[in-house]
């Protein structure tokens, strides 16, 4: 061993001379780069419990990188936490310092990270699913990333051993210095201090050399590391978007996206069903348009404030709640109350609009609508169902194709389940196109309880109705005072609307108006 110190004075004049042991013992080192609260730890434990796929990934990764489970935990914390806070660097193990922390830096710097945060902050399921997707991708690339981050041939483990040996030597030196201060001049003790100081310096320089080598390797491979991490972050972002899309489309409480039996079942069922998955791509967005409309006031009007309640409608929150945003110390409290829907807000006595009747939706399910047109039409129908449910109105979905293909699903307020809603969404008849059958079914519904109903008629097909039938239909319209709104599904192949013109009071064409605009217009007329 090289001798850096030969006299007790040289030790006392060095960086170790007045050394007070401040290093973290190896037993107290942590692989966790980010700090977390007990509540967050409980949430993660509940989410990861019985996750066999994650357990398999970690079992395969741990022999290569013992800090890998902590990396999975930190990634979730990074996605979920409002204010991620890092642990002190000297408390981290070598693998956490040189691999986990550096990988986390790449994640935070990635272009897709803000997207993940916007979806996952404070939301359990998208944060966990995104973190699991990231973990799986990184686990599959561990053999490539380890040498790129300086971990080839056990370099990180070597660094960790050197750091532990240095800490042990530092502790011994501290104890000897304390003995020397409390005793009279003792040549034997002084020599022991010199030897200990040389040991500390030697281990320190070895550790610093290895750490520098690791850092140089990581810098040289930065582009390759960023590419690998970016692919994993991108996959995580897509997974978060999928969870948001599915729960936004089907969950009754899409805002929180908590792990519960209902949401778990929804995710599983929709992912296994291509039809429901395609509908989700549109339905989640339409439900958000509906929610925005209600917040903006066209749904209910301003109404009369008359009491207080708890919620998270910022447009109705009382002024004292916003005062928490004035100081950094109280901002987290405001955010927490918002997430938990515990903000004090004004309650409104809403105006009741008379004349708003039930809704009947006739949906073309002929062969030509198969694909995105069918999914879009189903999403419109289910959004109309939400409108009807919000206003305690009856709703009927009439699936139609050829003259002999017709199915009617009736939804009475508060008397149907999510399963019934999904079964209606999964229905697809196939065949030709016949307008007479669904219109007859709609009129029959009006005769047996659908009062003041209006009809929304979605089709891509051409079907001319006989003049005598049109005359009969016009008499029914005049007598029952119902309107028919036609939606021609002709995007990509603009068609003729003359087949709808004889019985529709208003016609929307998807080749002329964006789908979202059509939905907004439908909502504004029916809420």
Domain boundaries, the chain: 8-24+155-220, 31-149+222-238, 304-349, 359-526
| 323-337 pLDDT per residue, tens | 888 888 888 888 888
From 95, 114, 96, 106, select the one nearest 34 (Cα to Cα).
96
Given a cut of 90, whether residue 213 has pLDDT beyond it is no
Q: How far is CA 518 from CA 129, 286, 492, 512, in A?
A: 33, 10, 16, 10
Q: How far is CA 247 from CA 124, 253, 254, 264, 376, in A?
A: 12, 8, 5, 10, 17
Q: What is the pLDDT of residue 472?
A: 94
Q: Which residues lie below 8 Å from residue 257, measured CB to CB, with a gap of 6+?
A: 123, 124, 125, 126, 243, 244, 247, 251, 263
Instruction: Tell me the sheet residues that pair with 457.
Output: 362, 486
Q: Is the pTM of this model over 0.85?
A: no
The H-assigned helical ranges of 93-154 are 94-95, 101-109, 113-120, 124-140, 142-148
From 500, 511, 508, select the one nearest 525 (Cα to Cα).
508
Q: Are strands 454-459 and 406-411 parallel, antiparallel or unpaired?
A: unpaired
Average pLDDT on 97-113 reads 91
Report d(CA 41, CA 38) in Å as an integer: 5
Report d(CA 283, CA 149) in Å as an integer: 43
Q: How far is CA 467 from CA 440, 474, 485, 502, in A?
A: 15, 10, 20, 10
Given a cut of 90, whether residue 349 has pLDDT beyond it is no
Tell me the torsion sign for CA atoms 371, 377, 383, 385: negative
Buried b (16+ CB within 10 A) or exposed e, 464-501: ebeeeeeeebeebbeeeebebbbbbbbbeeebebebbe
Tell me the torsion sign for CA atoms 310, 313, 315, 319: positive
Range name among 93-102, 224-233, 237-246, 430-439 with the lowest pLDDT average: 93-102
Q: What is the pLDDT of residue 294?
A: 67
Given a cut of 50, whether residue 97 has pLDDT beyond it is yes
Selecting from 3.40.50.300, 3.40.800.20, 3.40.50.410, 3.40.50.12780, what CATH number does the domain 359-526 have? Answer: 3.40.50.410
């Amino acid at each position: 061993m090289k001798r850096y110190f030969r006299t007790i004075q040289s030790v006392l004049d060095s960086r170790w001379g007045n050394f007070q042991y401040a290093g973290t013992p190896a037993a107290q080192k942590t692989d966790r780069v980010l700090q977390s609260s007990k509540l967050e730890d409980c949430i993660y434990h509940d989410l990861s419990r019985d996750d066999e796929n994650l357990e398999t990934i970690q079992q395969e990764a741990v022999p290569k990188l013992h800090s890998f489970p902590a990396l999975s935990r930190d990634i979730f914390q990074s996605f979920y936490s409002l204010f991620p806070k890092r642990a002190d660097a000297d408390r981290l193990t070598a693998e956490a310092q040189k691999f986990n922390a550096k990988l986390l830096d790449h994640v935070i710097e990635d272009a897709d990270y803000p997207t993940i945060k916007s979806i996952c902050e404070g939301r359990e399921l998208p944060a966990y699913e995104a973190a699991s997707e990231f973990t799986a991708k990184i686990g599959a690339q561990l053999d490539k990333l380890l040498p790129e981050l300086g971990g080839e041939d056990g370099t990180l483990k070597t660094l960790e051993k050197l750091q532990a040996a240095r800490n042990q030597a530092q502790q011994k030196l501290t104890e000897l210095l304390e003995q020397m201060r409390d005793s009279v001049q003792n040549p034997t003790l002084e020599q022991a201090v010199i030897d200990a100081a040389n040991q500390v310096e030697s281990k320190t320089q070895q550790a610093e050399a290895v750490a520098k080598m690791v850092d140089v390797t990581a810098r040289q491979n930065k582009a390759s590391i960023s590419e690998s991490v970016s692919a994993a972050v991108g996959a995580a972002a897509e997974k978060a978007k999928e969870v948001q899309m599915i729960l936004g489309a089907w969950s009754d409480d899409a805002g929180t996206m908590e792990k519960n039996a209902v949401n778990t079942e929804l995710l599983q069922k929709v992912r296994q069903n291509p039809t429901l998955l395609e509908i989700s791509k549109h339905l989640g967005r339409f439900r958000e348009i509906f929610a925005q409309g209600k917040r903006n006031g066209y749904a209910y009007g301003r109404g009369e404030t008359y009491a207080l309640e708890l919620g998270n409608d910022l447009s109705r929150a009382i002024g004292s709640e916003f005062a928490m945003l004035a100081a950094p110390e109280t901002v987290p409290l405001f955010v927490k109350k918002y997430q938990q829907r515990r903000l004090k807000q004004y309650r409104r006595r809403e105006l009741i609009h008379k004349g708003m009747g039930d809704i009947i939706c006739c949906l073309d399910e002929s062969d030509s609508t198969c694909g995105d047109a069918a999914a879009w039409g189903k999403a419109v129908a289910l959004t109309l169902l939400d409108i009807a449910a919000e206003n305690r109105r009856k709703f009927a979905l009439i699936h139609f194709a050829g003259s002999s293909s017709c199915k009617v699903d009736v939804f009475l307020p508060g008397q149907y389940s999510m399963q019934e809603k999904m079964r209606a969404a999964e229905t697809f008849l196939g065949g030709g196109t016949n307008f007479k059958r669904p219109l007859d079914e709609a009129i029959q519904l009006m005769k047996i309880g659908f009062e003041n109903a209006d009809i929304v008629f979605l089709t891509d097909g051409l079907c001319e109705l006989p003049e005598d039938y049109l005359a009969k239909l016009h008499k029914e319209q005049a007598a029952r005072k119902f309107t028919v709104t036609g939606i021609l599904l002709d995007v990509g192949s603009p068609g003729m609307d003359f087949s709808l013109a004889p019985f529709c009071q208003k016609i929307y064409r998807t080749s002329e108006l964006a789908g979202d605009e059509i939905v907004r217009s439908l909502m504004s007329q029916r809420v």
